[in-house]
């Protein structure tokens, strides 16, 4: 009996020690070209803040973080200076070993052992970098088939938060609530998805058109005085882009539009540009009547020069040269630029204001 009690006690001690051992987590790093620097371990949040949890000196390229009470499921990062490695912690990890060269971190060239979720995230981002997959496909596969924390990190890591992505974040919220119901990040994403939907609805209310409605036809003269109709492009996916040569944000957005056009033009994507160059009624008062024709000519030339300089090689460039009195802008309720509408093959408004980070994904999905 005495021997049995001792045996049970010993087994209890072993089990207790085992449970205690499983509770903590250690993150080890071996980073080339990082000697005599400092390593930080941060938790990412959805309120644009980063919570620093620990820091330590790097000696001989090596460092270690130990958390005896473990870490709750979430997205974390090991940071050295301005460079970092994202780690997806699911709560099952015990020891994570990171091997890397500090100079290659921005290319996602590193090795992580002990964290399959972090490995999957790294694979996802590298597939975008090497263009072996597109954003739309990656989002779909990640949300449907991968750990929701990996999917969330992938979406955050590849696209800035945009109200137009509210459906994506709503799906992530549902997945997280099912898999990690008690995680702080889960409640943050749930609240974020609600706020994004409200912002998206507010954005839609600014215009005279809504997603799902037929795109009103625009009939205006092009650079050569030829009449061009938006409706003639039905059957293609069309980016209706309101811009102007004097609009800095418009010009900065043009390279992405050009890249997307060349990538998808053979698959049925094109662009219809409405320029708000020219002179509106308010501006006319600044010029004597006899100077207006010359000023209007200058405005048109600026429009033509911008088309050439920005390499907007498609044919659909129209304008009535009335600036903010543009008939096309009035038809859609455009009060600021750049403003864009993505139109599907059936001629319906599909997306409002896809930005440079969401345009390609939206176009690919519609095609």
pLDDT tens by residue, 175-201: 999 999 999 999 999 999 999 999 888
* b/e per residue 268-294 (b: at least 16 CB within 10 A): ebebbbbbbbbbeeebeeeeeeeeeee
Q: Where exactly are the structural domains of the chain?
A: 21-199, 219-366
| pLDDT at residue 3, rounded to an integer | 45
pLDDT tens by residue, 20-56: 445 799 999 999 999 889 999 999 888 767 789 999 9
318: which 2 tokens?
């129209």
Q: How many residues does the chain have?
A: 367
| CA 327 to chain CA centroid, nearest Å | 32
Q: CATH for 219-366?
A: 3.40.30.10
Going 213 to 219 to 220 to 226, the CA torsion angle's sign is positive
| pLDDT at residue 137, rounded to an integer | 85
**From CA 194, how far away is CA 142, in angstroms rounded?**
21
Domains 21-199 and 219-366 share a fold: no
Q: Which fold has domain 21-199?
A: Immunoglobulin-like (2.60.40)
Q: 49-58, 59-68, 78-87, 143-152 — which is least confidently predicted?
A: 49-58
**From CA 299, how far away is CA 297, in angstroms rounded?**
5
**From CA 37, how far away is CA 53, in angstroms rounded?**
17
Which residues, at least 6 apart from 360, have a Cβ–Cβ distance to it below 8 Å? Answer: 134, 135, 136, 256, 259, 260, 263, 264
**From CA 268, how far away is CA 233, in angstroms rounded?**
10
Average confidence (pLDDT) over 352-361: 82
Higher pLDDT, 289 or 74: 74
**From CA 367, how far away is CA 365, in angstroms rounded?**
6
| pLDDT at residue 13, rounded to an integer | 42
Average confidence (pLDDT) over 320-330: 95
| pLDDT at residue 8, rounded to an integer | 45
Residues 65/27, Cβ–Cβ less than 8 Å: yes
Q: Which residue has the tokens 């089990």?
A: 15
Report residue 65's pLDDT band, with 50, 70 and 90 as the boundaries. very high
What are the backbone angles phi and psi of residue 91, rounded to the nearest 5°?
100, -5
């Amino acid at each position: 009996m005495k021997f049995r009690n001792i045996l049970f006690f010993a087994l209890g001690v072993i089990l207790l020690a085992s449970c205690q051992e499983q509770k903590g987590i250690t993150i080890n790093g071996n980073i080339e070209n990082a000697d005599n620097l400092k390593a930080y371990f941060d938790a990412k949040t959805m309120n644009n803040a980063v919570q620093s949890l620990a820091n330590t000196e790097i000696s001989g390229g090596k460092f270690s973080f130990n958390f005896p009470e473990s870490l709750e499921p979430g997205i974390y990062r090991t940071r050295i200076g301005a460079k970092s490695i994202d780690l997806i912690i699911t709560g099952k990890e015990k020891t994570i070993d990171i091997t890397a060269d500090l100079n290659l971190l921005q290319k996602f060239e590193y090795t992580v052992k002990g964290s399959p979720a972090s490995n999957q995230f790294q694979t996802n981002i590298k597939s975008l970098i090497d263009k072996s997959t597109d954003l739309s496909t990656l989002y779909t596969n990640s949300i449907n088939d991968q750990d929701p924390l990996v999917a969330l990190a992938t979406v955050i890591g590849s696209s800035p938060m945009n109200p137009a992505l509210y459906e994506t974040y709503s799906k992530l919220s549902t997945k997280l609530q099912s898999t990690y119901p008690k995680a702080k990040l889960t409640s943050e994403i749930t609240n974020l998805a609600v706020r994004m939907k409200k912002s998206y609805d507010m954005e839609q209310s600014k215009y005279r058109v809504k997603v799902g409605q037929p795109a009103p036809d625009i009939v205006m003269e092009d650079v050569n005085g030829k009449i061009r109709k938006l409706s003639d492009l039905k059957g293609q996916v069309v980016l209706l882009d309101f811009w102007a040569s004097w609009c800095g944000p418009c010009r900065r957005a043009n390279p992405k539009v050009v890249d997307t056009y060349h990538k998808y033009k053979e698959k049925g994507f094109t662009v219809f540009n409405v320029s708000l160059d020219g002179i509106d009624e308010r501006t006319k008062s600044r010029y004597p009547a006899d100077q207006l024709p010359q000023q209007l000519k200058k405005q048109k030339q600026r429009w033509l020069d911008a088309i050439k300089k920005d390499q907007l090689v498609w044919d659909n460039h129209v304008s009535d040269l009335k600036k903010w009195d543009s008939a096309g802008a009035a038809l859609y309720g455009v009060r600021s630029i750049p403003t864009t509408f993505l139109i599907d093959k059936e001629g319906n408004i599909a997306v409002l204001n896809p930005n440079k980070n969401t345009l390609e994904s939206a176009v690919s999905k519609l095609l």
